[in-house]
Amino acid sequence: MLQVQRAPAVHDVVVIGSGAGGGTTVKVLTDLGINVTLLEAGPMLDPMKDFKEHVWPWEVNHRGSGPAAESYFGKQQWSYWNAPNGYWDVPGEPYSVAQGEEFRWFRSRILGGRTNHYGRISLRFSDYDFKPQAFDGLGFDWPVTYEEMSPWYDKAEGFMGVTGTHEGLRTAPDGNFLPPVAPRVHEMLVQRAGKKLNIPVIPSRMAMLTKSIHGRAACHYCGQCGRGCHTASAFTSSQAMIFPAMKTGKLNIITGAMARELLVNDEGLVSGVSYVDKATRSEKTIRARAVVVAASACESARLLLNSKSTKYPAGLANNSGVVGRYLTDTVGYSLGGSVPALENMPRHNCDGIGGMHVYVPWWELEKKNKDFPRGYHIEIGGGFGMPQLGSFRGAAANAGYGAGIKAAARQQYGTNVNFAGRGEMIPNEHSYCEIDNTKVDQWGIPVLKFHWISQPYEIKMVQHMHDTFTAMIEAMGGRVPNRSFDPAANISKGGQIIHEAGTVRMGDDPKKSALNKWSQAHEVKNLVVADAAPFNGNPDKNVTLTIVANAWRAAEHLAEEMKKGNV
């Protein structure tokens, strides 16, 4: 039987979600002496138990396939070695997609959310990214400028620890950087290919510590950031923000808490949160002076849309009707090639930081007559990685059987260089989410329905990526695999790059936006949204650094408003 329990206390601030936005909010508010209660839908994270850092494949009997050979049958959700984080399919939590369209919704249900596994690429948005409409007439201007955001980027980078160098490029604004990491051999070849083709290849900007800061030891260069880092040298909101906040005595964490609805009082303000305690399936209510929603862009929109009341029949903070609209993800396309110059190269440890040591910022901003607006950055992959199941099947297939297999594997090892384009998607009317009124999840919460149609600009950008990557590989003397290419088919699916943004956008006009420039709801001043939902666009620069900077800014503003008695 369902039980409804009412907690008597009124909490200062309740934060929903513990990823980049929620973690930042928790850190900033507890540092300012405010009591915070954090609701996380998943379990507590225990890095010592949950992170498989430094484990060799043979240290588990299935060597990484999963205990029942899942990877051999396409049933493994995510690499066995990765930090626990979630997946596109969550048991008991379905979603709908409009007929004939495709969208995949990644959910992470654990303390720290997606920051436990993310790539840690940390790029500032450029001046024109905040004012895209003014720049070329497309998309929507933010109610903030780069100049206003810049000090918050300084704080975010200073705390997270981001590698980089000062380059003076408009497409890649410089920041508050830790020293860069030396390029690997294949990355030096990419640098030379870039020089030949007039494409900049610069040190990457990644949230791994090349110096010890804030109680976190400098990186030990094992390249396994995706598995989770025991020394917290790779940024996560769980280890770098929430665990230290737990020691302040100002933070109360409730795990296994799936938010159902935000409650409002007679004045139209948020009075608390109704949530499902998953372990007991009981309904609980927590009362709060202010609520910060940071459940991830689509989950935050879902929560607001499901918070319907007499006063707010279209959902909370949705008088404008924009909640759920203008959903964006990154435009993705990858191409790898084999580079003979790297064959049989003298072996060495090139693990480094997890991911690239150099990257390509967008280089054709000023170019006229392009067939798509703005652009993309390129992420570089390659090197002598730890062998895994599947690493040498291709070499073996070509060799047949016998001694030739080892010879082929030795020659091929480390020769593949991969290019991944990450491009800007202009928000459009066709890509959005709404409540599917016909379906609820296992907690009885109405689910989302997605609408997604790739736009011609995005498909043209993928063609440009393919041509560029091919030219880069060939400039290195490499071979591009002989396979068919069709940009409309090879473009990443919506949600696949896991950079959803823009479903609860901010703006100066309450008729066209849900939040003000401080990410505070126009109609509900004690409600703040602190993930990527407030974004007015999704530039070619990945979302996490801007989530942290914007959440930091929003949290300090909320604290001031509380101090002044306005909230």
Partner 1 sequence: MSNKPSDAINPSIPLTDTPDVSRRNLFRIVGTTLLSAELVSAQDAKDAHAGMAMPAAATGPKSLNGGPNYIPKHLKPHYFKTMRALGDLIMPADATSPAASEAGAAEFIDFLCSRNEDLAAIFDGGLSWLDQYMIHKHGTDFLSSKPADQTGLLDLAYGSRGGSPETAGGAQFFTWARNMVVDAYYTSPVGVKDIGYMGNTAVSVFSVPKEAVDYALKRSPFGA
- Touching partner 1, residues 29-48 (CB under 8 A): 47-48
223 binds partner 1 (CB under 8 A): yes
160 binds partner 1 (CB under 8 A): no
58 binds partner 1 (CB under 8 A): yes
Cβ 353 vs Cβ 392: under 8 Å: no
- Quick one: which segment of 118-126, 300-308, 328-336, 386-394 binds partner 1 (CB under 8 A)? 386-394
The interface with partner 1 within residues 366-385 (CB under 8 A) comprises 384-385
Pick between residue 49 and residue 367 the one whose CB is nearest to partner 1. Answer: 49
Pick between residue 237 and residue 239 the one whose CB is nearest to partner 1. Answer: 239
57 binds partner 1 (CB under 8 A): yes
The binding track of 168-197 with respect to partner 1, each residue x by CB under 8 A or -, is -------------xxxxxx-xx--x---x-
In degrees to the nearest 10, what's the CA dihedral of 502, 508, 509, 510?
70
Residue among 198, 213, 260 at smallest CA distance from 2: 260
Shortest distance (Å) from residue 167 CB to partner 1 = 21
493 binds partner 1 (CB under 8 A): no
How many residues bind to partner 1 according to rule CB under 8 A? 90
Taking the C-alpha atoms of residue 191 and residue 109, their distance in angstroms, rounded to an integer, is 39
396 binds partner 1 (CB under 8 A): yes
Which residue's structure tokens are 């225990």?
A: 46
The interface with partner 1 within residues 263-282 (CB under 8 A) comprises none
Which residue's structure tokens are 């959310």?
A: 113
471 binds partner 1 (CB under 8 A): no
Element (H, E) at 288: strand 282-293
Residue 288 CB-density burial (10 A; 0-12 exposed, 13-18 middle, 19+ buried): buried
443, 475, 556, 557: which one binds partner 1 (CB under 8 A): 475
Q: Which distant-in-sequence residues (6+ apart) come within 8 Å of 426 by Cβ?
A: 132, 138, 139, 328, 373, 374, 455, 457, 537
Angle at Cα 256 formed by Cα 252 and Cα 259, nearest 5°? 85
Pick between residue 61 and residue 437 the one whose CB is nearest to partner 1. Answer: 61
Taking the C-alpha atoms of residue 397 and residue 389, their distance in angstroms, rounded to an integer, is 14
314 binds partner 1 (CB under 8 A): no
The interface with partner 1 within residues 61-120 (CB under 8 A) comprises 61-65, 67-69, 72-73
Cβ 508 vs Cβ 520: under 8 Å: no
Pick between residue 391 and residue 496 the one whose CB is nearest to partner 1. Answer: 391
Shortest distance (Å) from residue 71 CB to partner 1 = 10
- Quick one: which segment of 110-118, 268-276, 473-481, 510-518 binds partner 1 (CB under 8 A)? 473-481
Cβ 137 vs Cβ 221: under 8 Å: no
